[in-house]
Structure 1
């Protein structure tokens, strides 16, 4: 069975439903994991997703802020909400589809000051990572798992437009890079994007709205990720493909994030 998973911080699902439909009609995907939907469950445009072939929907919404949702062509089972966010914000959800558990995350951005004592938002972000890493260490690693979402850390030197200049900026500070590394190690997670786009190629999924021409300035960050655990990777046959659809960022009034996609056969 082929499984194609998209992750996209859409920065308001209702505002960008037309773009989501246009995008999904232009690619071949089975599951789309959305972040920052910015709506409550009853406000989510369910029918619009059903109309384009994604009738199975799981929503963790919140009024005006945050929020994650998963839409699928295939039926799935919703899992218990994982207690990684100490504030109880709508940032986490889990499903099982075709025997694969999928976690969809919108991890806190962390504010502007990279100091846990001075900035509670930064502390919240790092604690979120610590909770996930602790859970991954105890989780049964024989169960296939895919983790995706806006993880709000660009972990590598070639995941940022300037490694030197970004080391003091939240999203690429040494503390965050270490937290991301611990997260990867705890789950023994595989990053298919670095096989698809080998180092030293710079790859980004986010560009600031401040740039009039995001391609010309190209001051991007790779904040969005899709990761596979060893049990899932072992179940795949053939190639695992990974794509960053940065062309979507060229559309009028786009999200500041581009959708990313991983496809494999199990």
Structure 2
């Protein structure tokens, strides 16, 4: 039994629908988790996905901002959408799907970016981000027998020195400040999560999923960050077959500044 899951901050699902369709036709994931859909539920392009065989669609969206969606060609149901920090801004959705006798609980997250100033005393966006990460400690792998848990999404933090193009130059830049990276690392450890991307790609190697729109020659300068993540409960980690970061997608016409990350599992 195999499972192929992709996660992608699409930066407007309606604007980049042709790119998503191209990705689905070319790479055929079983499940695709999208973030920053920027689309209210009643305007989500469900019909376009169902036409491609993705019959199961779970959405948590709002007009113009944020939003997450999980689409699947395997039977899937919505479990919950959580509100964090008392702000209903559509940043989480949990779904479940069955693989034989095994159930997979899948969390799809879009963590706040945090603004430009890494000081929670003067920047409420950064305060919101830190509080959001703290509340995420309540999201832990399922303890239910026969259920494994996967957490994916744009977490907007690059935790390792090799998750950014320059550790020293980005220490005071939001997404790589010590308070953020330590917060995310604690979330991993306390929640008993496994960072599957770093299980597959050694921590000594550079690994990026985001390149700024401000860089005209992004591929040459390669000033990227790993903001997108794939985690799992410990029981699922041995089933990971491969991770692919689709770097080429950053060079597509009118791209997102994030690229898809694909995780493939093989269960015995």
TM-score (norm 2): 0.94
Contact kept in structure 2, 1:154 and 1:222, CA below 8 Å? yes
SS of alignment partner, residue 32 of structure 1: strand
**Hey, what's the Cα distance between the residues in 2 that align with 1:141 and 1:171?**
33
Q: Which of 89, 100, 108 is 1:104 aligned to?
A: 108
Cα-Cα RMSD:
1.5
Contact kept in structure 2, 1:32 and 1:70, CA below 8 Å? yes
Are 1:140 and 2:143 counterparts? Answer: yes
Q: Which of 171, 175, 186 is 1:171 aligned to?
A: 175
Contact kept in structure 2, 1:59 and 1:70, CA below 8 Å? yes
SS of alignment partner, residue 199 of structure 1: coil
**Hey, what's the Cα distance between the residues in 2 that align with 1:132 and 1:34?**
19
**Hey, what's the Cα distance between the residues in 1 that align with 2:85 and 2:108?**
13
Number of matched pairs: 262
Contact kept in structure 2, 1:196 and 1:243, CA below 8 Å? no
1:210 aligns to what? 214
Deviation at 1:67, TM superposition (A): 0.4
TM-score (norm 1): 0.94
Q: Between 224-233 and 191-200, report the one with greater CA deviation.
A: 191-200
Deviation at 1:141, TM superposition (A): 7.1
Q: 1:209-255: CA deviations, max 9, x gaps?
A: 01111111111000000111113336x3xx52111001111111100
Q: 1:148-195: CA deviations, max 9, x gaps?
A: 000000000000000001000000000001110111012211122223
Contact kept in structure 2, 1:141 and 1:229, CA below 8 Å? no
Deviation at 1:83, TM superposition (A): 3.1
2:90 aligns to what? 90
Q: 1:99-135: CA deviations, max 9, x gaps?
A: 1000000000001111122111111111111111144
Contact kept in structure 2, 1:134 and 1:186, CA below 8 Å? no
Deviation at 1:84, TM superposition (A): 2.7
**Hey, what's the Cα distance between the residues in 2 that align with 1:256 and 1:90?**
20
SS of alignment partner, residue 228 of structure 1: strand
**Hey, what's the Cα distance between the residues in 2 that align with 1:80 and 1:37?**
18
Contact kept in structure 2, 1:9 and 1:36, CA below 8 Å? yes
Structure 2 residues not aligned, in runs of 5+? none
1:69 aligns to what? 69
**Hey, what's the Cα distance between the residues in 2 that align with 1:31 and 1:161?**
30
**Hey, what's the Cα distance between the residues in 2 that align with 1:176 and 1:243?**
25
Contact kept in structure 1, 2:83 and 2:90, CA below 8 Å? no
1:24 aligns to what? 24
2:246 aligns to what? 245
2:195 aligns to what? 191
